[in-house]
Chains A and B, each alone.
With several copies, the nearest count.
Chain A
Amino acid sequence: MGENITLFSEDGKRTDGRALDELRPIKIKVGVLSNAQGSAYIEQGKNKILAAVYGPKEALPKHISLPDRCILRCRYHMAPFSTTERKSPAPSRREIELSMVLRNALEPLVMTSLFPRTVIDIFIEVLQADGGTRCAGLTAAVLALADAGIPLKGLAAACAVGKADGKIVVDLNDLEDKYGEADMPIAYNPTLDGITLLQMDGIMSKEEVEQALSLAITATQKMHKMQVDALRERFSVQRRET
């Protein structure tokens, strides 16, 4: 913002050497915690994020429950050491907003009507933040739900697209997030052709939004495959164990 940061090298590569439509290296592991019913860990760039799921379980106090479906509770939280400057562990306004945004993005994936009067708790802990934490967190949370054996309408993966130095790019890193012109996080389910998370900050024209949207769909489809692989690995491990 105002500073002369160059987001592209002379050969058109991004600050971390990627092409415009290239995702950062991603590492996903499902079933990483012993107490949680379901859990998943994701590394995307330098992001390190854990997601865990507890439930469905009885909703207490009762007045929060719904007679026809299960409710979701979701907490997105950043560890105090996840950012360059230490962050207070108390939830910031941003974390409160993102907890809601992520709950809204996860809710349409869950077959909530199968578990009336119950609650599912979803915890997303950012251990290290490197731009795009809400998206990586969602990608992990979906897997934690699947790992918990909760029936889903489908998986969804999320990825930020946006604009940096005038170009539409995929999977913004920390620098592009801070100094770019626009940031548009998107969660997408390819089977149902449905977007469950859609936000945009910054400035883009209609045409640029359309172009970014199309990049996001391709990127989340790639991530979808990694999700499936991670689940497959998880279940094959379980099979070996039994």
Chain B
Amino acid sequence: MSITEQRPVISKLEQQELRRLLAENKRIDGRSPLQYRSISVQLGYVEKAEGSALVELGNTKVLAAVKVGIAVPFADTPNEGILIVNAELVPLASPTFEPGPPSEESIFLSRYVDRSIRESKTIDLSSLCIVPGRSVYSLYVDLYILDYDGNLIDASVIASVNALGITNMPKYVVEGQAIKRTDEYFKLELKDHPVSLTYAFLDDKYVVDPCLSEEYASDFTVSMTVKSDDRFCAIQKNGGGMISPRRVIELLERSVELGKELRTVAYRQLTGGNG
């Protein structure tokens, strides 16, 4: 059962301070409402993974790693590779993350990232078939949250796409009934460069890329994933509260604009500076 979450008590004073600042279009860390934090991306952080990226978004640290394997395809998609996204809210990242089976937050996070990649068709899964109905590539994208200062979703999408973007795929050859791994590799091809934009709402004001104290103070957040062609492939309101249709439309516009900028920064190393 899902149960009302217990957020760490933010002192009334701190919440009031955030309100006061927002009224003046200011934020606790000096950013303007629609300003993103600085992003650093370290590609290939884990050599044992076929692809990996360590992303720092302010103090939020997310490590994404891709493991490539061979698997039997699902019965309803015999010609498609398998993509599995798994997120671990590692307890060293925050006093609120507990060891144990995946929490609803981690399931929610991994499913949102999964949708952002899958629906945008960033990976052409039909290109990952080796023998139809029998052998396909499997891509495990493991998200490891190492330090939590808000906005895990956007950081995780960026980390996943970067890790996929440098993934080396071992080549296999079919020999009769057997499938043999060769020494050759090929690069996994990205068909899109989606970015997620997350907004935190407090009293009908909002900021993009909330830090942790903004997330805790907020009524709810809205995340929107934008493809390179400015279309949307995932939207999600998260948390209680209500949003007016007018505000949703406003966010769609914001996300197209902000998405362009973010894409350039987030995938600079993949694209050589061209988003």
A/B: CB atoms within 8 Å of each other = yes
Which residues of A pack against B, CB within 8 Å? 1-2, 33-36, 39, 46, 48, 50-52, 54, 64, 66, 71-75, 77, 79-84, 86, 89-90, 93-94, 96-97, 99-100, 102-104, 107-108, 121, 123, 125, 127-129, 184, 188-189, 192-206, 209-210, 213-214, 217
Q: A66 CA to B233 CA in the complex, in Å?
A: 37
Check: B135 CB closer than 8 A to any chain A CB: no
With known contacts A1-B77, A79-B142, A198-B236, A34–B59 Cβ distance under 8 A:
yes
**Is B48's CB under 8 angstroms from A84's CB?**
yes
Q: A75 CA to B97 CA in the complex, in Å?
A: 13
**Is A200's CB under 8 angstroms from B243's CB?**
no
Chain A residues with CB below 8 A from B104, complex form: 96-97, 99-100
Check: B65 CB closer than 8 A to any chain A CB: yes
With known contacts A198-B222, A213-B248, A213-B249, A103–B2 Cβ distance under 8 A:
yes
- A-B interface, 7 closest residue pairs, ranked by CB to CB distance from nearest: A194-B242, A52-B92, A200-B235, A81-B65, A71-B4, A123-B92, A99-B2
Check: B1 CB closer than 8 A to any chain A CB: yes
User: Which of B69, B140, B144 has the most C-beta atoms of chain A within 10 angstroms of its own C-beta?
Assistant: B144
**Is B99's CB under 8 angstroms from A75's CB?**
yes
Check: B3 CB closer than 8 A to any chain A CB: yes
Q: Which of A81, A90, A104, A194 contacts B101 (CB 8 A)?
A: A90
Chain A residues with CB below 8 A from B59, complex form: 34
Find residues 10-56 in chain B having any chain A CB closer than 8 Å to their own CB: 45-49, 52
- Return the chain B residue nearest A109 by Cβ: B242
Check: B189 CB closer than 8 A to any chain A CB: no
**Is A96's CB under 8 angstroms from B107's CB?**
yes
Q: A206 CA to B248 CA in the complex, in Å?
A: 10
**Is B3's CB under 8 angstroms from A125's CB?**
no
With known contacts A99-B1, A107-B4, A107-B240, A81–B49 Cβ distance under 8 A:
yes
Check: B245 CB closer than 8 A to any chain A CB: yes
Chain B residues with CB below 8 A from A54, complex form: 95
With known contacts A34-B149, A203-B119, A189–B242 Cβ distance under 8 A:
yes
Q: List 16 A-B contacts (CB under 8 A).
A: A33-B146, A35-B94, A72-B3, A74-B2, A74-B3, A79-B65, A83-B48, A84-B48, A99-B1, A100-B108, A104-B237, A125-B92, A194-B243, A202-B119, A209-B235, A209-B248
**Is A199's CB under 8 angstroms from B142's CB?**
no
- Return the chain B residue nearest A90 by Cβ: B101
Chain A residues with CB below 8 A from B245, complex form: 188, 193, 195, 213-214, 217
Q: A211 CA to B52 CA in the complex, in Å?
A: 39
Check: B147 CB closer than 8 A to any chain A CB: yes
